[in-house]
Chain A
Amino acid sequence: MELSYTVAVLIIPVFMFLFLGIVGVKLSKKTAGILGTLAMGVTTVIAYAAAITYFFGTDQGQVVDGVRQQLTVLDLTWLEFTKNLVIKIGVLLDPISAMMLIVISTVSFMVHLYSLGYMDGERGFQRYYAFLSLFTFSMLGLVLATNIFQMYIFWELVGVSSYLLIGFYYTLPAAVSASKKAFIVTRFADLGFLVGILILSFYTDTFDFMSLTSDPQAAISTAGGATFLGCSVMTWALTLIFMGGAGKSAMFPLHIWLPDAMEGPTPVSALIHAATMVVAGVYLVARLFPLYAVDVTALEIITVVGAFTALYAAAVACVQSDIKRVLAFSTISQIAFMITALGVATPELHEGVGYMASMFHLFTHAMFKALLFLCAGAIIHAVHSNEMSAMGGLRKYMPICHIAFLIGCLAIAGIPPFAGFFSKDEILVAAYAKSPIWGVWLSVVAGMTAFYMFRLYYKIFWWNNPDYGHHTPHEAPMTMTFPLIFLGLVSIVAGFIPFGEFVSVGRADYSGFHIHVDPKVAISSVVIAVIGIVLATVMYRKENDIPERLANRFRGLWTAAYHRFYIDEIYQFITHKIIFARISKPIAWFDRRIIDGTMDLLANVTNSASFAVRRMQSGSIQTYVWFYLVGAVAVAVITILCLI
């Protein structure tokens, strides 16, 4: 098929990973970095070509009845266990995967370029680029997967590359424990994902996305009303699959790994923990959305989890002092927005606008959040600290970064005409259409978003002017500012993309709606955002004691939010005090004492018994003869006695 060259976007990064991983140390740092970036550039071009051909091509039955079809451009059988249990590897192109191709390749290329400047002179520069290639490969494989099993494989691969990159500074204990935490938490969530996959494929006899989603009603009804604990098995399967998504997308209560993941290099945070990997959960739900759409219970769970996480993360983000942590919680909150948008999207309601809004927000968020993270990286690069207290008044020193960060903040706050306004507005429309409660809820969170982002902005670029001493911060090098400028431009214009034209589930009842700015929702959301910004301006523009006084007034709330409402401590308590102390310790004791003990006892008895009889095997024939004689005499005597 014409689009089969899409597979090159997988082959090039995996080849680069192997190449840089194996012979990278032989190359100079610069060569390795430029090679990696060039390869990523080629991948980006191919990804763009594929996406544009997909979206604008008209031949080969790509569009049937005004609906853009899902295309399987490559389909190989990998493992064939039985007639039904066949695992395939392929490349699936449909609106959301083509959209993700653009997002991932753009952000990844920008991060490759940016890292040339940011990681300059770091130890393990080649290793870093190898891991970036591995991540790009796995993430692209994830979005292009034709079946849920292939997706699961790449899902784990992104987890591994995330683990490797968070722990990039492996000499720092904090980075090591953060990478372990990220891996364990997401693995735990993936357990649910795997169980969900097994249940789903057990009842529907297929892994394939296209056959799963082409007739969701039939797929659901194949379960034949089988239930477990009062819910249908399909609800269980979908909820468990969502659990995997929630782990990767850092939904409450599985969000705890993401703030710690900020220990990795900042470009990695921009790529993996803001733009691409963390939206894998959203993508997963979107991929299976036709199934979710007919299962109201699962959708409700998704909505509640998403909405709660959005509020929780926004509240925490308001008081953090580490700029990357603020951005991390803001990411959690924004992804929760997307998840909620999916939750409130139903085909009957407003033509499934939530689905489109979620994908739209995913797209714009990837751009402006990557921008914000890369700006944060430039700032950290300049002042050598993550803490806001070490910053202030930076607008004079770093003008490009200042403008780019401001664009990012305006975009995330939802001020027209920046990208975030349009996508967030669509989400709010969808939420209000579902229920005013969710609408108001999300509006409040949107206001908080504006507040904490501008708090961050003012704290970094205005506030006071700390004494930088002899080391005045300066603008970053060109390789770092170019991605900022590019992503800044994208963040300005991305909102004008007629997204509704492109993204649909590939079925008639979802597609073909236009983005329409609902004036009521739009005006109210802008007003709320402006209120948030004004509040932040009053509190943080110049150095003053209002924030301090407010913090003292609400001391309890402030401390709780600063400590992320003690969720980490609760996990610590549950894992250490309950699971480790009450369950693992006794099991370990039983294992060491009873099971190992039995085996040790057997071995020891055998050992000492053989020591005891060792003297009999002296090798001295005379002793044997002596024994033999005594035995023979004894036998003879006994025989005689018996005979008498």
Chain B
Amino acid sequence: MFGCGIYGFITRKNMIAILISLELMLNAVDINFAVFNRFLFPGQMEGMFFSLFAIGLAAAETALAIAIVINVYRAARNVDIRQLTKMKF
């Protein structure tokens, strides 16, 4: 799942798709946290809570990113990452 996220992040042109890939990676990490906590330290709950914390953070981060994407779309009428070269020197 993490690999899928990386692949998507590198290859997608659409900013929304890139954002989804990013979420995929985050979720992969969350799952890893939960799973490894369960297997390695069965009596403890830190990994679980960390996952919950990361999910909350991811929600906020996604909201921010979506806002940026929308603003970019308003400015450029486009969300293609390869054509957004206006700010490039």
Contact = CB atoms under 8 A, between A and B. Distances in A.
Interface of A: 619-622, 625-626, 629
B6 A620 contact: no
B82 A625 contact: no
Contacts of B6: 625, 629
A625 B88 contact: no
A619 B81 CA distance: 11
B10 A625 contact: yes
Interface in B3-19: 6, 9-11, 18
A620 B81 contact: yes
Contact of A622 (B10, B85, B88): B10
B72 to A, nearest CB: 14
A191 B89 CA distance: 55
Nearest to B85: A619
Contacts of B89: 619
Nearest to A623: B10
A625 B7 CA distance: 10
Contacts of A629: 6, 10
B10 A619 contact: no
A572 to B, nearest CB: 57
17 contacts: A619-B85, A619-B88, A619-B89, A620-B81, A620-B82, A621-B81, A622-B9, A622-B10, A622-B11, A622-B18, A622-B81, A625-B6, A625-B9, A625-B10, A626-B10, A629-B6, A629-B10
Chain B, interface size: which category? 10 to 19
- Tell me if A's interface is mostly helix, strand, loop or mixed: helix
B57 to A, nearest CB: 20
Given A625-B10, A629-B6, 15 more contacts: A619-B85, A619-B88, A619-B89, A620-B81, A620-B82, A621-B81, A622-B9, A622-B10, A622-B11, A622-B18, A622-B81, A625-B6, A625-B9, A626-B10, A629-B10
Nearest 3 interchain pairs by C-beta: A619-B88, A622-B10, A626-B10
Contacts of B81: 620-622
A629 B81 CA distance: 19
A620 B18 CA distance: 13
A590 B4 CA distance: 63
A626 B9 CA distance: 9
Contacts of A620: 81-82
Nearest to B9: A625
Contacts of B85: 619
Contacts of B88: 619
Nearest to B87: A619
Highest count of chain B CB atoms <10 Å: which of A620, A621, A622, A629: A622
A625 B21 CA distance: 13
Nearest to B6: A629
Contacts of B10: 622, 625-626, 629
B75 to A, nearest CB: 17
B1 to A, nearest CB: 16
Contacts of B11: 622
A619 B85 CA distance: 9
Interface string B45-89: 000000000000000000000000000000000000110010011
A622 B89 CA distance: 18
A453 to B, nearest CB: 80
A620 B15 CA distance: 12
B80 to A, nearest CB: 12
B85 to A, nearest CB: 8
Contacts of A619: 85, 88-89
A358 to B, nearest CB: 77
Nearest to B12: A622
A105 B81 CA distance: 86
Contacts of A622: 9-11, 18, 81
A622 B18 CA distance: 10
A626 B6 CA distance: 9
A37 B59 CA distance: 94
A562 B6 CA distance: 95
B11 to A, nearest CB: 8
A43 B14 CA distance: 90
Contacts of B82: 620
A629 B88 CA distance: 24
Nearest to A617: B89
